[in-house]
Structure 1
Amino acid sequence: MDLELGKRTAGLWDSFTYWFGRRSLQSRLIAAYIFIILGPCLMVSFYSYGAINNTYVSDAIDKNSYLLQMEKLYINNQIESMERAVQMAYEDKEVREYLAYTKEPDLSELVEFNTDVFINMTRIQYNNPNLEHLRLYSNSNVHEIWPIFFREVRVSTEPWYQKALKLKGQLSWSFLNNDTELMNRFAGQTPKLVPKVSLLREMSVPTNNHIGMVQVDMLLERFTPKTYTTVQDSQSQMFLVDEEMQLFTRPDHSFLQENGEMAVAIADRLEAYRKTGNWDINYTENGKSFLLINTPLDRINAYLLNVVSMEGVMKDISHTRNLIIGVNIGFIILVTAIAYVLNAFILKNLRVLTETMKKVRRGEAYTAITVRGGGEVGELAHHFSKLMNTINTLVAQAVYKQALSKEAELRTLHNQIDAHFLYNTLENIKMLAEMEDQRTISDALTSLGGMMRYNFKWSGEYVKLRDEIRHIENYIEVMNIRFEHPIVLMLNIEHSYAELEVLKMSLQPIVENSVKHAWYGEQEEAENRTIHIDVSEGDGDIFIAIRDNGSGLTTDRLLTLHEALYAKEEVSEFASEPGDHTRRAGGIGLRNVHQRLQLFYGEEYGLEVQSSIGRGTTVFMTLPKVLLTGDKQL
């Protein structure tokens, strides 16, 4: 699947490059301008959009976090007010005594209690107008004084009351969804669906001797007014969440009405926050984004949460994005128009040159082209005129060369006839030698015929290494007719190197140089005369070493040979050592091979000669590893 996708992508890219390459230069230049400008514009736009987006979101978080902290400060004030009211009732000695009565108080005690203590309790509530109820519960059968003193049996079964009893004198906070009517003045009365918060504390005299309970209530709309605000706000909504993960918020225009999973999500995140301390501020439901900003209310073991809708913020961001896109499009259109006009003016001379070239291609006679102005187009027009003049000259020369070519073909045919005549003559002489049982002469004629075929058959500059080696073997066999003790050719060539590409007649001159100059004087008929040819490989190149066991060269003669071999200008002949007129070092032949190698393969290839007196001479040839097919082996 991935391979098919890659092929399809490559095909589409090739189609696009072909189509784009056929467009006019002006169109491609304009496309290049747009691409060059579009890239930075997109980068700047994306960066600006990201920065603006982060700024809007950061401002929304900061603004609503500030509102949340202000509401938290207000709630803390209400908490202190409720705690102060509980503390005042809890520490009143006469209240404790009344709640601890085990017998029915007489009338005078009730009147005195009602005149003093009850008035004081009522004053606590009046001094704190946000308090909804101040209630004291007794576990005895004392008289109830509504709406403050009640018997405990009225609320003893309530879960929030049982929770306060278990705390044994510690403060207990409870959040309720309704305000129960304790006096039961009407049968079947439904409790008011008014959420409230209650603060309770058990009273005991002495310690662990339960006598009653003090309770202070406050409606949540007074406890946290922003949570229950009546102002219609579609951008944010506050929630109060108690330790049991109950959510308290305004019933109207609530986010919970359109987002049914939000309540569960808030509870789950608060549970996770309680365990790990990590809070995820982002929330998405029904394609809408919200920010959940949270702050704990440690004193009441609850949380205050501000849910902020990002719809308005996203509208502002979208407007800014559209503005950026519009500015970019307008800028690109303006640049494109300016580039089109300028390119049309700049490329006018180029179009004139193009039309002239088209006329020449159609075979029309070339007339001089006039291009005003300089620059690259003017220079191109000048060189085009020069080119056309050169072409006209070459056409005239081609006609002359065509005649010479015909003559050369006739000469080639004639030479082929002469070569075939010579081959046939050698074959006839070979047959006569065999008939006279002259095997040596017959073998020499066979080798000579192979050499002549190799020389005359010049089909190209490159041959296989095995063909060049076979030619050298023929040459050695022919030359050994002269010597009583033949020269032995030793080959150390792996079979895999037989197909290597070498220049034709590149090894034979080196071997011929050894045959002619390696042994001289008394050594010309010496035994054990050998020529070694070794082939090795390294770093992708081929190294061919041709080594003889002849007399070798002195240091001065080797230096002179190197100067002739690597000379920039051609020398007439490599001079022999003074006093030695019988031997030459073959410098011209080596130089020709060296120059051919560098001409066909490069300056890094060629010959290197090493020699010393009494140790023979070695010629190293370096050439690239290439098969005759032309594929370079890496």
Structure 2
Amino acid sequence: MKIFRKIASYRLNHRSLSLQTKLIILYIVIIMVPVIAFTLYYTEQISNSAIRDATKKQEYLLELEKINIMNHIETMRRTAQIVISDRDFLDFIKKNHDSNTTDLLYFKSNVYSNIIKLQFNNPNINDIRIYTANPNIKEMWPVIFDESRINNKPWFEEVMNRNGIELWWFDNDNVDILNRSLNISDAKISVLRELEYPKGEHLAIIEISMLQENFFPKMFSNVNENESAIVVFDQNLKLVHNPFNPFIQENNLNINELREKFVGTDNQLTSSFQFMNNEKRFLAVSTYMDELNSYMLSITSLESIYSETAKTRNLVLSGIILLVIILSIITYKLISYLLKNMYLLIDSMKKVEKGNFEVDVTVDERSEFGELANHFRNMLGKINSLIADAVNKQAITKEAELRSLKTQIDAHFLYNTLENIKMMSEIEGNYEVSDAVTSLGDIMRYNLKWKNDFVSLSEELSHIQNYVDIMNLRLDNRLTLTLTIPQELKEHEVLKMSLQPIVENSIKHGISPIIYNKQGIIDIRASVEMKNIYIEITDNGIGMTQEEVAELHEKISLSSSRTEESENGSGIGLRNVHERIKIHYGNEYGMSIQSVKGQHTKVMIKIPC
């Protein structure tokens, strides 16, 4: 209810505004709405373009990082393959007895030194380690260790179950294989692989590791470290990132929410998404690294982009508002000058409204208002002329009414006369004339007693029976009226004189041409369907073709503006009935006609129950 009151109040206030104020409001709306819409659209396009550029930049950065990563992966794989391809090395750690001094010296000066050289030749490789399961082999740090040192490592069982297939592992533990504490910057990534020699016989596990800061050069780079960061979620969805990058700490990124955003994305494509963190908007571009079974993301802040967009938008809108205010003031003054004559004309109209028809309209300029003032002066002259004519016509009308009263016939005199004729007919034994006079009297009473537009259906049918009786007097009783009306509908109200014109039309146009060839029948039925009453009036007359039915439908459906054009045509009575039904009940009710040439015509009336 409050909303409706506000709307009604707004409409009332709107209507009470002056034309000058409405024009200013319209002027402001016409200018500001499109300009503001265009400004918002344009700044949105600028923002989207900047985000697209940022996305491409991050995708390019990730692509460069992936190239570096693939080079490091290839280096580590090649190093592992060189080690396990050395037959002397495999034979040494395969021995089932303790090595003598000669064997140890040869191994260290040749095979072992080759492994050390291999590591020195690849400065990015941090460790080359072999964990042997042979109890006869002594540990040679920092390359050969006993396998018992890694039995408790989380990756040990998985490496053993892979049957020689490599496993990439992110090692973020702060304790190394020698149980020494490590710095945060010593986090590594390793490729692990089981050695079987011969095939099917477990010999050792080889580990080639590289520091994460060497493996991910872009992640640990200091370039743009305050604006973006590269992070990796490993195979266990644990975060790997540069702990010294201030971007993550300063923005306090929620890693759990970030993880939920990208997990399950297509691992064959690079994807991007935006997210909110601490009421700040960020852009994340992610890519899947199949070799590492890990996701790499580049995260950058969008605050600068949105801040610049908002600054541009606010600046443009402020300029627009200021310009519209200046233009509105100028326009208001100009409209005030242009509408001065209109207000003079309004004052003159108010004087006429109070009854002063001798007002002199002083607007004489050659403009639309001057033309309106001229028409207003002519209208005042016409009104004064019409007032004089109306006074004269009223006097003439009163005189005509007096003359009409003198010649008016009293209805009671007419009824008494008909009653005397009826008695004379009965005395003479002419009962047919007596019955006709009785029917005529009932018809006249029914027509003259019009206190209400509605009568019961039984009263309307009784009137039709009287009409048919009189027609039978002229047609030698060749008309038959049959009624099939349910008892519960006889007292239902219908429009007075709504059925009789249809019956009259049926007799005149349908039955009269064939009345001397066969007995004329008029059948009236009533029924109820879907809360509507249907009254059908059917005659067995000459019927009509479909073209004639369509023409008759068009005539009875003529609008009031076209009624006078067809007053001399047929269908006037039917049209009057149709229009009365629509006026009283609504446009969904009315009359329809069906006919078969040479057989019958059916008129159906639909009214509400």
Q: Which moved more, 1:256-265 or 1:225-234?
A: 256-265
The secondary structure found in structure 1 opposite 2:236 is coil
The secondary structure found in structure 1 opposite 2:579 is coil
Q: Distance in 2 between matches of 1:90 and 1:508?
A: 115
Letter in 2 for 1:149: I
Match of 1:263 among 249, 253, 256: 256
Q: Is the 8 A contact 1:530 1:548 kept in 2?
A: no
Tell me what 1:340 maps to: 332
Q: Distance in 1 between matches of 2:577 and 2:333?
A: 54
1:201-212 equivalences in 2 (<5 Å) = 201-212=193-204
Deviation at 1:536, TM superposition (A): 11
1:569-588 equivalences in 2 (<5 Å) = none
Q: Which moved more, 1:277-286 or 1:241-250?
A: 277-286
Match of 1:625 among 578, 583, 596: 578
Match of 1:358 among 331, 350, 357: 350
Report Cα offsets for 1:150-194 as digits up to 9, x if no partner.
34333344333444344444433221113644456xxxx534443
Q: Is the 8 A contact 2:262 2:286 kept in 1?
A: no
Identity among equivalent positions (%) equals 28
Deviation at 1:87, TM superposition (A): 2.9
Q: TM-score under structure 1 normalisation?
A: 0.69
Deviation at 1:353, TM superposition (A): 1.4
Tell me what 2:598 maps to: none
The secondary structure found in structure 2 opposite 1:364 is coil
Report Cα offsets for 1:350-395 as digits up to 9, x if no partner.
2221111111112335344243444543332222111111111111
Report Cα offsets for 1:124-169 as digits up to 9, x if no partner.
2222222222333443444544333334333344333444344444
Deviation at 1:462, TM superposition (A): 13
Letter in 1 for 2:309: I
Tell me what 1:154 maps to: 149
Letter in 2 for 1:17: R
1:47 pairs with 2:51: no
Letter in 1 for 2:123: P
Report Cα offsets for 1:525-544 as digits up to 9, x if no partner.
x999999889999xxxx999
Tell me what 1:306 maps to: 298
Match of 1:241 among 200, 219, 233: 233
Structure 1, unmatched stretches of 5+, are 1-6, 520-525, 550-593, 610-618
1:317 pairs with 2:309: yes
Q: Is the 8 A contact 1:543 1:623 kept in 2?
A: no
Q: Distance in 1 between matches of 2:465 and 2:195?
A: 125
The secondary structure found in structure 2 opposite 1:273 is coil
Deviation at 1:70, TM superposition (A): 1.3
Report Cα offsets for 1:296-347 as digits up to 9, x if no partner.
2222332212233333333233334434543553454355445434433433
- CA 1:463 to 1:332, structure 2 compared with 1: closer, same or farther past 3 Å? farther
Tell me what 1:553 maps to: none
Question: Whose radius of gyration is greater, 1 or 2?
Answer: 1
Deviation at 1:510, TM superposition (A): 9.4
Q: Distance in 1 between matches of 2:559 and 2:55?
A: 78
- CA 1:386 to 1:201, structure 2 compared with 1: closer, same or farther past 3 Å? same
The secondary structure found in structure 2 opposite 1:243 is coil
Match of 1:607 among 564, 569, 574: 569
Q: Give the alignment's Cα RMSD to 1 decimal.
A: 5.2
Deviation at 1:112, TM superposition (A): 4.7
- CA 1:474 to 1:229, structure 2 compared with 1: closer, same or farther past 3 Å? closer
Q: Distance in 2 between matches of 1:511 and 1:232?
A: 98
1:166-315 equivalences in 2 (<5 Å) = 166-178=161-173, 180-183=175-178, 189-193=180-184, 194-229=186-221, 233-252=225-244, 253=246, 255=248, 262-263=255-256, 266=259, 269-270=262-263, 272-273=264-265, 281-315=273-307
Deviation at 1:50, TM superposition (A): 3.8
1:33 pairs with 2:27: yes
Q: Is the 8 A contact 2:275 2:281 kept in 1?
A: yes
Q: Is the 8 A contact 2:502 2:573 kept in 1?
A: no
Q: Which moved more, 1:105-114 or 1:167-176?
A: 105-114
Q: Distance in 1 between matches of 2:46 and 2:140?
A: 64
Q: Which moved more, 1:492-501 or 1:91-100?
A: 492-501
Structure 2, unmatched stretches of 5+, are 527-534, 543-555, 591-609
Letter in 2 for 1:426: T
- CA 1:42 to 1:412, structure 2 compared with 1: closer, same or farther past 3 Å? farther
Q: Distance in 1 between matches of 2:414 and 2:77?
A: 131
1:475-514 equivalences in 2 (<5 Å) = 499-500=494-495
